[in-house]
Structure 1
Amino acid sequence: MASLHKTLLFDEVAKHNKFDDCWIIISGKVYNVTSFMDDHPGGGEVMRKATGRDATVDYGDVGHSEAANEMMGKFCIREIDMSTIPVKKSYISTTTEKIYKPQFIIKVLLVGMLAAALRVLLVSF
């Protein structure tokens, strides 16, 4: 494993996002996997798509073997400054927050009540 004294900034790591120059971030460490792209069992494109973000969850979800975990050591070049990794956006929670705001619920209820009242009036005549 290379010296881990100097941490790298996310923007610096994200520049290495090509098949012939590929760095990925897993568990706070930066790996230069360029030389492994052709040999990766899932294909090099899988690793290239993991650039530009923290790929820790992706790596863990695949269920890599112990041999794969040990092999990672030879590709590690430095640690990443975790404070420079952009916050992951969650589109589900933002959408949920927008839908379930009290003002929205009140408007929906009022429209429903008006529609019901209108129907009662129309049926009465």
Structure 2
Amino acid sequence: IWVIYKDRVYDVTKFLDDHPGGSDIIKQYAGEDISELIQEESIHVHSKAALEILETLYIGNVKKT
């Protein structure tokens, strides 16, 4: 399962079972840009550690046309 955050693509498949909020929320946004979701505190708060974990799952950039 891939997601996009700030024009970067992440393969979060191996993280599904470890996500504190459960895998369903990640699956709901599969293939989509989660930038707003991650940055909007009223939706879902993410720590610096969470963003560091996300960076370990980086696989590439979104190609802009």
Give me the TM-score of the superposition, normalised by structure 2: 0.84
Alignment equivalent of 1:72, drawn from 41, 54, 62: 54
Instruction: Considering fraction of residues, name the structure with more helix.
Output: 1
- For 2:58, give the aligned amino acid: C
SS in 2 for 1:54: coil
Q: Which has the higher contact order (CA 8 A, sep 6+)?
A: 2
Q: Distance in 2 between matches of 1:52 and 1:37?
A: 14
The structure 1 segments of at least 4 consecutive aligned residues displaced by more than 4 Å after TM superposition are none
Q: Distance in 2 between matches of 1:32 and 1:42?
A: 17
**Pairs aligned (count):** 62
Q: For structure 2, which runs of at least 5 residues remain unmatched after alignment? A: none
Give me the TM-score of the superposition, normalised by structure 1: 0.46
Residue equivalent to 1:41: 20
SS in 2 for 1:52: coil
- RMSD, aligned α-carbons: 1.2
Q: Distance in 1 between matches of 2:38 and 2:50?
A: 11
* Greater Rg by CA: 1
SS in 1 for 2:18: coil
SS in 2 for 1:45: helix
Change (3 A) 1:52 1:72: closer
Q: Tell me whether 1:50 sits opposite 2:29 in the alignment.
A: yes
Query: Percent identity between the aligned chains?
Result: 34
Q: Distance in 2 between matches of 1:53 and 1:66?
A: 21
Q: Distance in 2 between matches of 1:36 and 1:47?
A: 9
